[in-house]
Amino acid sequence: MTPIISLSHRSLLNRRGTVSLTVLAIALSVMMVLGVERLRHDAKASFANTISGTDLIVGARGGTIQLLLYAVFRIGNATNNVSWKSYRDIAARPGVAWTVPLSLGDSHKGFRVMGTTADYFRHYRYGRKQNLAFTAGAPFKNIFDTVLGADAARYLGYKLGDDIVVAHGLGQVGFLRHDDKPFKVTGILKKTGTPVDRTVHVSLAGIEAIHIDWRSGSRIPGMAVDAEALREGSLQPKAITAFLVGTTTRFGAFHLQRAINEYPREPLLATLPGVALQELWDLMGTAETALRAISVFVVVAGLLGMLTMLLSSLNERRREIAILRSVGARPIHVFGLFSLEAGLISLAGALVGLIFLYLGLIIARPIIDAQYGLLLSIGPPSLRDMVLLGLVVSAGILVGMVPAYRAYRHSLADGMIIRL
Amino acid sequence: MTSHAIRLTDVCFRWRKEIPPVIEIPRLSIRAGEKVLLRGPSGSGKTTLLNLLGGVTIPERGKIETLDTDWVALSAAQRDRFRADNVGFIFQMFNLIPYLSLVENVLLPCRFSVGRRNAAMRKSPDIAREASRLLTHMQLDVDTLHGRPVNELSTGQQQRVAAARALIGSPSIIIADEPTSALDADARYIFLDLLFREIEQAEATLVFVSHDAALSKLFDRTVELEELNNGVTK
């Protein structure tokens, strides 16, 4: 095959217009396939990293996935609350190492407000059992203190000591505002890549305080409680939305889960975070498969573009084939020349696609981070990426064998004397 | 060494079984070093005969010996190799590969035939210089033409490049298929003059196909294809 190696790239350079368009088409499809793979991988990793070190998530009885969504991902709402009494009862059981109550339902400029205790900052863990860390300030101490997630602080431009007003409900601009009781920013968390980044944390008492003179979602006329006065009184919540539990032993978690699910005084649901995450991820499996299927079809389209280009050039290259035959090229050389060209095109497509992927990652990273809180990794290509690239190039060579075979047949049938 | 460069004995060729043969030649022999004009109008089976002489197609019956080797007895791969080593071709037009340079086009046979590569190196210090030497003999100025795409050369120049390519590595037989039909009268005679001089120097055999009877006087011998071939042609 040596005689034709230098011929193939010269031939491609000679047709650089159509060839570069074909390379571009393959490159885009390769970028898409690799991008989808990376997005899928990173999304799954980030997803699984959202919560760790928590043994049980407990909420009102309902769906496991729903519980996971509102308690961990701050998506959607709980249909029912958990009474404070039940919470205290379960928290006091033997085998329970710690509990963190969560109270959801309010928002601040589109960011969810979550009432909790200072234990949250001690026990909530994500990724590889990492604790939450502060870039500035400290956990809340007073009723009207608030700790902001990294994104919430950054997008709203808040600094320590700023006052914020929480809106009732979840609208971007709630017209019912708890503006008589502003909160003061006392802490800003380090970025975690989890929904924590987009959460405004206040104390449970703070949540109670802003709702003390509200009933059924509106202010009770004539009843206005002075914010200063609230600091004195004790604000015991009657209910919370959910709570996280850490048990002393792994086995204790299963035992406790059963006990909570059979809790006689209130219908409750306890779930193991790992199980719930897997269930939720499986739910998204269809979308994942669809996305992969689409990207595979895009690659197929790219390769078909190459096939079209090579086949349509075949006729005008019959004379070239005849000349090569007349100077001693064997039909197998002609076959090799066309296969090699297809191989070079797909290889160039794969490499350019890889470059496009990294350019795309650099451009899309901050946008995806800002929009979805997903930080894409810009690492070297994984083994999986390399396998995919190899597959694309092999598929390209395989596709190239179609015109190569046609050229081979031409070279046998035409001989070297053709009159066009 | 045989005195015959090409010898056909009782050759019959047809495209399909049910149609009459297009080539039926009882006997044709061409001596080594001979310059033969194969003359015939279009449709007289010229192309088919050239494909048979070059071992590209194989007759249904008969022997086609080139330098004492019968094409029919060789395998397809052996024929390809034998052809690359021993036969140089010049076609009517568009002889050159557009994406290769002048010298690269001339060197093409050396890519595929070690024998011709070695023969070229016996004549010049390296094959590129042998290509330049042949091009210069064909009155082409390599230095001024080198950077230019080969399809920007005039038809006459292109044919002379093709002749240089057919001659490189000194193959024993040169087969030319109407190489002058696209040239005007002046260019035609210049081309033939240069080609003959080189072929004589290399002591090669020339089989030159043309419909142009006016060229006859330039050749050692003229074979009228219509008289030679008993096959049924159009």
Taking the CA of residue A335 and the nearest CA in chain B, the distance in Å comes to 14
- Quick check: A134 pLDDT over 50? yes
- Quick check: A417 pLDDT over 70? no
Q: Decide if A417 is inside a domain.
A: no
Q: Decide if A342 is inside a domain.
A: yes
Chain B residues inside the 8 Å CB shell of A417: 47, 50-51, 56, 91, 177
| A388 and A289 co-located in one domain | yes
Chain A residues inside the 8 Å CB shell of B111: 3, 327-328
Residue among B56, B97, B108 minimizing CB distance to A416 = B56
Give me B156's structure tokens. 């006459």
| A115 and A65 co-located in one domain | yes
Alpha helices, DSSP H, located in chain B: 46-53, 76-86, 102-112, 114-123, 127-137, 142-145, 155-167, 185-202, 225-228
Q: Decide if A357 is inside a domain.
A: yes
Partner-chain contact A415 B56, CB within 8 Å: yes
Taking the CA of residue B181 and the nearest CA in chain A, the distance in Å comes to 13
Taking the CA of residue A16 and the nearest CA in chain B, the distance in Å comes to 11
Find, in chain B, the residue whose alpha carbon is nearest to that of A317: B97
Which of A224, A249, A271 is the endpoint of a domain? A271
Q: What domain range includes position A266?
A: 56-271
Closest to A8 (Cα-Cα) out of A371, A370, A329: A329
Which of A271, A303, A329 is the endpoint of a domain? A271
Partner-chain contact B84 A419, CB within 8 Å: no
| A149 and A220 co-located in one domain | yes
| A141 and A239 co-located in one domain | yes
- Quick check: B146 pLDDT over 90? no
Chain A residues inside the 8 Å CB shell of B84: 327-328
- Selected residue of A335, A414, A417 to mutate for chain B interface (largest B Cβ count, 10 A): A417
| A195 and A257 co-located in one domain | yes
| A11 and A134 co-located in one domain | no
Partner-chain contact B109 A323, CB within 8 Å: no
CB-hemisphere CA count at 13 Å for A235? 23
Chain A residues inside the 8 Å CB shell of B116: 328
| A297 and A209 co-located in one domain | no
Environment class of A51 (CB within 10 Å of its CB; exposed 0-12, middle 13-18, buried 19+): buried
pLDDT, one tens digit per residue, over A267-291 is 999 999 988 888 888 888 888 888 8
pLDDT, one tens digit per residue, over A288-302 is 888 888 888 999 999
The 3-state secondary structure of B150-186, one letter per residue: HHHCCHHHHHHHHHHHHHCCCCCEEEEECCCCCCCHH
- Quick check: A232 pLDDT over 50? no
Query: Strands B221-224 and B205-210, how do they pair?
Result: unpaired
Instruction: Report pLDDT for A230.
Output: 53
Pseudo-torsion of CA B198, B204, B208, B214, nearest 10°?
A: 60
Which of A217, A243, A271 is the endpoint of a domain? A271
Q: Decide if A420 is inside a domain.
A: no
Chain A residues inside the 8 Å CB shell of B47: 417, 419
For CA atoms A277, A279, A284, A289, give the dihedral sign.
positive
Chain A residues inside the 8 Å CB shell of B149: none
pLDDT, averaged across chain B:
87
The total domain count for chain A is: 2
Q: Provide the angle, in degrees to the nearest 10, between the axes of the packed helices A318-326 and A285-316.
A: 60
| A230 and A330 co-located in one domain | no
Partner-chain contact B108 A319, CB within 8 Å: no
Residue among B57, B92, B108 minimizing CB distance to A327 = B108
**Amino acid type, A42:** D
Angle at A289 between CA A287 and CA A294, to 5 degrees: 95
Indicate the range of A150-154, A321-325, A356-360, B6-10 predicted with least confidence: A321-325
- Give the list of residues 6+ apart from residue A35 with CB closer than 8 angstroms, or none: A295, A357, A360, A361
A241, A70 contact by CB (below 8 A): yes
pLDDT, one tens digit per residue, over B147-167 is 788 888 888 889 889 999 999
Instruction: Report pLDDT for A378.
Output: 85
Q: Decide if A278 is inside a domain.
A: no
Spell out which chain B residues touch chain A, with contact meaning CB-CB distance below 8 angstroms: 47, 50-51, 54, 56-57, 76-77, 80-81, 83-85, 89, 91-92, 94-100, 108-109, 111-113, 116, 165, 177
Instruction: Report pLDDT for A74.
Output: 87
Residue among B47, B94, B109 minimizing CB distance to A417 = B47
| A107 and A229 co-located in one domain | yes
For CA atoms A204, A207, A211, A216, give the dihedral sign.
negative
Chain B residues inside the 8 Å CB shell of A318: none
Which element (helix H / strand E) includes A155? Answer: helix A150-156
Enter the DSSP assignment of A104.
E
DSSP string, A1-22: -HHHHHHHHHHHHHTHHHHHHH
Q: Provide the angle, in degrees to the nearest 10, between the axes of the packed helices B102-112 and B155-167.
A: 30
| A294 and A329 co-located in one domain | yes
Chain B residues inside the 8 Å CB shell of A320: 97-98
pLDDT, averaged across chain A:
85
Q: Decide if A419 is inside a domain.
A: no
Query: What SS3 class is residue A63?
Result: coil
Closest to A209 (Cα-Cα) out of A74, A83, A115, A86: A115
Instruction: Report pLDDT for A318.
Output: 84
Q: Decide if A255 is inside a domain.
A: yes
| Interval A210-239 mean pLDDT | 60
| A242 and A321 co-located in one domain | no
Closest to B36 (Cα-Cα) out of B185, B181, B201, B210: B210
d(CA A348, CA A20) in angstroms, rounded, equals 9
| Interval A167-174 mean pLDDT | 53
| A181 and A305 co-located in one domain | no
Chains A & B: contacts with CB separation below 8 Å: 68
Q: Decide if A418 is inside a domain.
A: no
| Interval A27-52 mean pLDDT | 87
pTM for the model stands at 0.74
Indicate the range of A365-374, B155-164, B213-222 predicted with least confidence: A365-374
Indicate the range of A47-51, A71-75, A198-202, B205-209 predicted with least confidence: A47-51
Question: DSSP 3-state helix, strand, coil percentages of chain A (rounded to 5)?
Answer: 55, 15, 30
Find, in chain B, the residue whose alpha carbon is nearest to that of A326: B89
- Quick check: A418 pLDDT over 60? no
| Interval A75-85 mean pLDDT | 88
